[in-house]
C-alpha cells in the first residue's frame, strides 16, 4: 500500500520536533517512520476537523437515503 503522505520523517526526528515536521510538509500529512516503515501519520488539527466533518456528512447522507427509501435509521 503506498504511503498516504508526500512527506516522511523518522520517529526520532519526529520526537524532537513534531510541529517542525508538519511545518516542513506545509500542513499536509506526514508519515512517521519506525525502522523505515510507516508507523503512523501526523496531521494538522484543521485536516482532522475536515476529515471528521466529511465522515459526518457521509453518515448523514446514508441516513437521508435510508429515510427516502422508507426505512428507519439504525
Give residue 73's pLDDT: 53
Grid coordinates representing 13 are 526526528
Between these two residues, 12 and 3, which has the higher pLDDT value? 12
How far, in Å, CA of 63 to CA of 74, rounded? 8
User: What pLDDT score does 69 carry?
Assistant: 87
Cα atoms in the 13 Å half-sphere on the side-chain side of 32? 17
* Predicted confidence (pLDDT) per residue in 16-73, tens digit: 999 899 888 888 899 999 999 999 999 999 999 999 999 999 999 999 988 888 866 5
- Domain chopping of the chain, boundaries: 1-43, 45-74
Architecture of the 1-43 domain: 3-Layer(aba) Sandwich (3.40)
Distances in Å between the Cα of 42 and the Cα atoms of 10, 50, 67, 68, 70 are 12, 14, 37, 38, 41
Instruction: Tell me the pTM.
Output: 0.68
Amino acid at each position: 500500500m503506498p504511503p498516504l503522505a508526500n512527506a516522511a520523517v523518522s520517529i526520532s526526528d519526529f520526537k524532537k520536533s513534531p510541529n517542525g515536521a508538519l511545518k516542513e510538509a506545509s500542513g499536509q500529512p506526514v508519515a512517521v517512520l519506525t525502522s523505515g516503515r510507516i508507523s503512523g501519520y501526523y496531521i494538522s488539527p484543521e485536516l482532522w476537523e475536515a476529515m471528521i466533518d466529511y465522515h459526518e456528512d457521509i453518515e448523514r447522507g446514508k441516513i437521508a437515503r435510508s429515510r427516502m427509501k422508507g426505512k428507519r435509521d439504525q
